[in-house]
């Protein structure tokens, strides 16, 4: 995680895709990610700081396209307490259809 990115991102900043499309605004800022309140999509998404390319004035640019942001399943914040070694991987783990070997509640999940 980049603490400089965390401190530079503020609520209500506009978030743009790699194609320069306005995806919405920053709703909340966390130590590991920010919550994107999306203009064109029905659900909010948590975006890890690793996906931010630039931050300028009232603008946050992502390295994801609009379609990629729509397809991601980051509708809840990851559980860092159980997967501390790789925070980005948590966005692909629990509750998102990817096997998580540390998830004792669903050990048979593919």
Q: How far apart are CA 18 and CA 47, in angstroms?
A: 14
pLDDT tens profile 4-47:
777 899 999 999 999 999 999 999 998 878 999 887 656 788 88
How is residue 99 written in tokens? 């096997």
Confidence of residue 59 (pLDDT cuts 50, 70, 90): very high
Domains in the chain, start-ordered, CATH in brackets?
3-90 (2.30.30.240)
Using CA atoms, how far residue 28 sits from 9, 19, 82, 87, 106, in Å, is: 9, 23, 23, 18, 29
Q: Give the pLDDT of residue 98.
A: 46
pLDDT tens profile 62-88:
999 988 888 877 777 765 555 555 655
Q: How far apart are CA 9 and CA 6, in angstroms?
A: 6
Q: Give the pLDDT of residue 45.
A: 86
DSSP H stretches of helix in 16-65: none
Element housing 5 (H / E)? helix 3-8
Asked whether residue 109 carries a pLDDT value surpassing 60, the answer given is no
Element housing 26 (H / E)? strand 22-29
């Amino acid at each position: 995680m980049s603490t400089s990115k965390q401190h530079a991102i503020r609520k209500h900043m506009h978030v743009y895709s790699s194609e320069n499309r306005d995806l919405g605004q920053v709703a909340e800022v966390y130590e590991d990610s920010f919550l994107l309140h999306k203009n064109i999509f029905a659900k909010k998404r948590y975006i890890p700081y690793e996906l931010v390319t630039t931050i300028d004035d009232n603008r946050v640019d992502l390295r994801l396209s609009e379609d990629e942001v729509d397809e991601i399943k980051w509708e809840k914040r990851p559980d860092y307490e159980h997967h501390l070694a790789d925070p980005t991987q948590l966005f692909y783990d629990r509750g998102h259809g990817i096997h998580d070997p540390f998830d004792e509640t669903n050990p048979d999940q593919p």
